Amino acid sequence: MAATSALPTEFAPRTLARRTAEVVLLLAVVALIVTLAPGLGQVRDALAHASPGWMALALLLEFLSGVSYVLMFRPIFCRSMSWRTSWQISWSEMAAGSIVPASGAGGLALGAWVLHRRGMPSGHIARRSVAFFIIKSSVNFVAVAVVGIVALAGVGPDLSFWLTGFPAALAIVAIAAVLLLPRIGPGADPHPDAPKLARGWSVARRSVIGGVGEAVAIVRTKDPALLVGAVGYWAFDNAVLWATFKALGVDVPIIVILLGYLIGQLGGLLPIPGGVGGIDGGLIGTLIVYGAPVAGTAAAVLAYRVILFWLPLLVGTAAFWSLRRALDDPSSVSSAALR
């Protein structure tokens, strides 16, 4: 069976190896800057004295975040899928997300290809991919709304309205806008002779609107694995950043970490391999604005980003090769189980 030969070029082993090398090179450049650049002595000292115990906990928390991703993946795409298959696809997606730009969308594209190879209809994959992205992201927005309101009420450090209430209001508006999307309707069917761009726009519009509706319906099932997975993926990843601060002996209020996390992660939307520089700069800048110390924040975010890159890549690479072997064996996974 020519399953592996049909692998999209962006996920071919040679391409993935090149992207990995690019990200490793970028990380090496960052490491050299931190190691050699004048004025960064405090950052180097903080990293040199990091607590091994707290760093080990950060690694465990990142692994638990990945396990939560697996828990969330299966009930959204196919409840009859085996947990083994869900593990393989999920970790493969996370590995791809570590080295492909677009804030995790590249990983979802890999998962979509695998599911299609196993017989899942394209329309179902498109809608469920949108639903997955919305459910995964919504936890962060809900958290910012809740934590922002709590901080505005006076819990935690004294922060201005622009750092608490304003992000909370934006998060609420974003949630409402997504929930109202289905009201615009799927639109009319494009004419058979319509330009390719118009047909593509129609398909994308239907997938997004259908995906929002399915996301709401999936959440209403109150599937325990889904709820634990969605919240766990967000919570454990936040906890990794918290643990790296603790490893360096830097005390930052948890509210600051939670509020700075979403805004800082927006840097991952930049088309940079692995998000290197985008996420780092976004997190460091945002956390400093919220009052975190400069040197300690830079060191903690760098440690967090190294963990965020390497652990999913290493575990996901093993899952990806196991998945490729399964794709070569048509009897390993029943196509009917993925419909």
Which pLDDT value is given to residue 33?
63
Of how many residues is the chain composed? 339
For residue 15, the one-letter residue type is T
- The three-state secondary structure class of 289 is helix
| Banded model confidence at residue 184, pLDDT cuts 50, 70, 90 | confident
Which pLDDT value is given to residue 101?
54
Q: How far is CA 310 from CA 67, 118, 182, 306, 315, in A?
A: 15, 29, 38, 6, 9
Which pLDDT value is given to residue 2?
38
Interatomic CA distance for residues 63 and 184, integer angstroms: 40
Q: Does 109 have pLDDT greater than 80?
A: no
Interval 103-118 mean pLDDT: 72
Decide: residue 312, CB within 10 A, 0-12 exposed, 13-18 middle, 19+ buried. Answer: buried
| From 52-66, 162-176, 322-336, the region with the lowest mean pLDDT | 322-336
Which pLDDT value is given to residue 237?
93
The percent of residues above 90 in pLDDT, for the chain, comes to 29
Interatomic CA distance for residues 88 and 115, integer angstroms: 12
Helices (H), the chain: 13-36, 41-48, 52-77, 83-99, 105-117, 122-152, 165-180, 196-220, 224-247, 254-265, 278-289, 294-328
321 neighbors 7 (Cβ within 8 angstroms): no
Which pLDDT value is given to residue 227?
94
Alpha-carbon torsion, ordered 185, 216, 61, 94, to 10 deg: -40
Which pLDDT value is given to residue 330?
55
Q: Does 234 have pLDDT greater than 70?
A: yes
Mutual angle of helices 224-247 and 52-77, in 10-degree steps: 160
Which pLDDT value is given to residue 10?
60
Interval 153-173 mean pLDDT: 89
Q: Does 39 have pLDDT greater than 70?
A: no
The percent of residues above 70 in pLDDT, for the chain, comes to 78
| From 41-50, 142-151, 165-174, 205-214, the region with the lowest mean pLDDT | 41-50
Q: Does 277 have pLDDT greater than 60?
A: no
Q: How far is CA 271 from CA 104, 117, 131, 145, in A?
A: 11, 28, 23, 27
Q: Does 3 have pLDDT greater than 50?
A: no
Which pLDDT value is given to residue 61?
97
Mean residue pLDDT across the chain? 81
Interatomic CA distance for residues 199 and 191, integer angstroms: 8
- The three-state secondary structure class of 4 is helix
Closest CA to 184 of 203, 218, 210, 216: 210
| 108 vs 241 pLDDT, higher one | 241
269 neighbors 102 (Cβ within 8 angstroms): yes
* Ramachandran bin of 333, using left for φ above 0, alpha for ψ from -120 to 50, beta for the remaining angles: beta
What confidence tens digit (pLDDT) does each residue in 284-329 have?
Answer: 888 998 889 988 898 899 899 889 888 998 898 899 888 878 776 6
